[in-house]
Amino acid sequence: MFRSFRDTRRLLHAARVLARHDALVPREYAERAPFPLKVAQFFFGGPRKADINVPPGVRLALALESLGPAYIKLGQMLATRPDLIGDEIAGALECLQDRLPPFPEDVARAAVETELGRPLDEMFSIFGEAVAAASIAQVHRAMTADEEPRSVAVKVLRPGIELDFARDLSAFAFAARMAERVSAEARRLRMIALVDTLAASVALELDLRMEAAAASELAELTVNDRDFRVPAVDWPRTAGRVLATEWIDGTPVRNPAALVEAGHDPKRIAVLVIRSFLTQALRDGFFHADMHQGNLFVDAEGRLVAVDFGIMGRVDPAMRRFMAETLGGFLARDYMRVAKVHYDAGFVPRTHAIETFAQALRAIGEPIFGRAAPDVSMSKLLQQLFDTTRRFDMELQPQLVLLQKTMVVVEGVARSLDPEFDIWEASRPVVESWMIENMGPEARLRDAADGMNAIGRLARELPTMLRNAELVSAMLAEGGLRLHPDTARQIAEAQLARTRHVRIAIWIAAGALGVLAVALL
């Protein structure tokens, strides 16, 4: 009860902030808003004068920024869900800034010493001021105190950030449960699963050892990629709240003019961004899920270098196959094939005719091929796909949320480098190569060999299985199965313990109900 009260109080505070920014019931949508929301807007008061001429999506972004880190992360996830908030607002949230003023340098120094258990001077000969500060952590440039000093980036978590996130995520989960309890649409959109996905992502971001492990894993997977690399992790200077990695002296991707000045072709880098992402997602099933301009650099050798591995995505083999066949089907304009992939995966209820679903996919795909590349927007395509999922009762696949978000982000990065960028032509070689490798004749031969190996293992185990079956049959013929005395005793003890635990649970539940009844009187 106390947690529900606390969650409700935090949600009311958030509603008050949203109302002040005219983002709770935006005036542009006030006529269509449900009556309870109109009452809430009246209760929490009108908007600030400063927000009067600001578009609704920007007002929402400003409100979420002011509410803190958890709401910034929520806004970034909502940017991938135009089916929930509309294309215009989703587009505005894509620009949601994850930047905050840095916390004091002496606090960062103390945190590093506490986490690593050594005086700062023993680890770093130079420890500079913060060069970047976000909602979760900030980064300092430092020089190691080794015989051969190395320049490193030291990432330090904000003080108290774990508690702040825990409180807000608890409120989000409470709101999601209430929404699914009263709304069929909320259940279809799997609001609880969305909050769980956000919570899991944040939990990884708040343990910098996990980020270090992600960087190390991605480095291993891409070690043979000529045009992509990952900074090396400095493990002795890394702990739960501190992460040290190789410092990258590269040209930031956010500055096309600087890329040209450094001798790089922005159009080539645009293609590299898309293909690196797709290669990681399809080939490796493990991808950098925060590939915005601030996290991408180009080194002197022309390689794309990614930093900040707090948000990573995984795609299992079945989902990778689904994704590749869907992209391949769209590229080949084979909409019945795409529809069949969705039905085989169980994403579309078979109460809907596959031919009708293929027709809906054609309505999405055909306009793309009849337009110039600059006119094809991935965010608009996703909006149409979300509309289609609603029409055909498809449930959201949480595994694909980060994938969808990253696809939109990397397309934006590529377009900023090359306004004429054709995402489909850039994607085609990666998709086709993966499909040949995993679905071509050689792949079928490998699958057949795996099947033969499985049959071989079964054949080797068959005699033992037959002997066990004969023993069971004989016992049944003689009056029933017989257990070894030790086994029987262990089962009996376990059953007694289980019964005792059930009784204790019933007493605890009865006591809790009694307390609740007294509280309500």
Half-sphere exposure of 185 (CA within 13 A, CB side): 4
Closest CA relative to residue 357, chosen from 366, 348, 365, 367 = 348
Residue 442: predicted pLDDT: 55
Q: What is the mean pLDDT of the chain?
A: 80
Q: What is the dihedral of CA 462, 463, 464, 465, to 10 degrees?
A: 50
Question: Which residue is it, tokens 């090396």?
Answer: 232
* Model pLDDT, residue 464: 61
pLDDT of residue 150: 96
pLDDT of residue 461: 59
Q: What's residue 4's pLDDT?
A: 80
Of residues 310 and 454, more confidence is placed in 310
Size (the chain), residues: 521
- Three-state SS at 459: helix
Q: What is the pLDDT of residue 211?
A: 95
pLDDT of residue 505: 36
pLDDT at position 12 is: 87
Q: For residues 121-138, give the mean pLDDT.
A: 93
pLDDT-based confidence at residue 6 (cuts at 50, 70, 90): confident
Among candidates 218, 288, 213, which has minimal Cα distance to 243? Answer: 213
**Residue 186 confidence (pLDDT):** 78
Residue 268 — pLDDT band, cuts 50, 70, 90?
very high
Confidence at residue 52, expressed as pLDDT on a 0 to 100 scale: 65
- Which of these, 215, 95, 201, lies nearest to 152 by C-alpha position? 215
Residue 203 contacts residue 168 (beta carbons within 8 Å): no
DSSP 51-80: GTTS-HHHHHHHHHHHH-HHHHHHHHHHTT
Q: How far apart are CA 455 and CA 340, in angstroms?
A: 29
What's the pLDDT band for 517 if we cut at 50, 70, 90?
A: very low
Q: Mean pLDDT across the stretch 350-357?
A: 91
In the predicted structure, residue 217 carries a pLDDT above the cut 90: yes
Predicted confidence (pLDDT) per residue in 453-463, tens digit: 556 655 665 66
Say yes or no to pLDDT of 202 above 80: yes
Rounded distance between C-alpha atoms, residue 6 and residue 170, angstroms: 9
Confidence label for 81 from pLDDT (cuts 50, 70 and 90): low
**Which range, 80-84, 198-202, 217-221, is most confident?**
217-221
Write the CB contacts of 105 (distance below 8 Å, at least 6 apart in sequence): 129, 130, 140
Answer yes or no: is pLDDT of 520 > 50: no
Percent of the chain with pLDDT over 90: 35
pLDDT given at position 401 = 66
Amino acid 508: pLDDT: 34
For residue 452, the model assigns a pLDDT of 55
Ranking 35-39, 119-123, 185-189 by mean pLDDT, the lowest is 35-39
Q: What mean pLDDT do residues 354-360 have?
A: 93
**Lowest-confidence range among 66-70, 155-159, 515-519?**
515-519
For helices 208-221 and 191-205, angle between their N-to-C axes, nearest 10 degrees: 90
Whether residue 332 is predicted with pLDDT greater than 50 in this model: the reply is: yes
Closest by alpha carbon to 426, among 271, 228, 270? 271
DSSP β-ladder status, 228-229 and 304-306: parallel
What's the mean pLDDT in 502-519?
34
- Average pLDDT value for residue range 454-478: 56
Q: What is the pLDDT of residue 345?
A: 85
Ranked by mean pLDDT, the top range of 69-83, 184-198, 212-226 is 212-226
* Better-predicted residue by pLDDT, 483 or 281: 281
Strand partners, 287: 313
Residue at 458: amino acid letter: L
Q: What are phi and psi of 363, to 5 degrees?
A: -65, -25
Binning pLDDT at 50, 70 and 90, where does residue 226 land?
A: very high
Q: Could you tell me what percent of the chain has a pLDDT over 70?
A: 73
Where does the pLDDT of residue 447 fall: very low under 50, low under 70, confident under 90, or very high at 90 and above?
Answer: low
Tokens found for residue 129: 């001021």
pLDDT at 504 over 80: no
Identity (one letter) of the amino acid at 86? G
Q: Which amino acids are annotated catalytic?
A: 290
> Is the Cα dihedral 21, 27, 28, 32 positive or negative?
positive
Output 23 or 257, whichever has higher pLDDT: 257
Q: What share of residues in the chain are helix, strand, coil (percent, to 5)?
A: 65, 10, 25
Q: What is the pLDDT of residues 368-415, one digit of tens each?
A: 776 766 676 665 666 677 677 678 887 666 667 678 778 878 988 999
Query: Residue 510 has what pLDDT?
Result: 35
Q: How many CA atoms lie within 13 A of 141 on its CB side?
A: 6
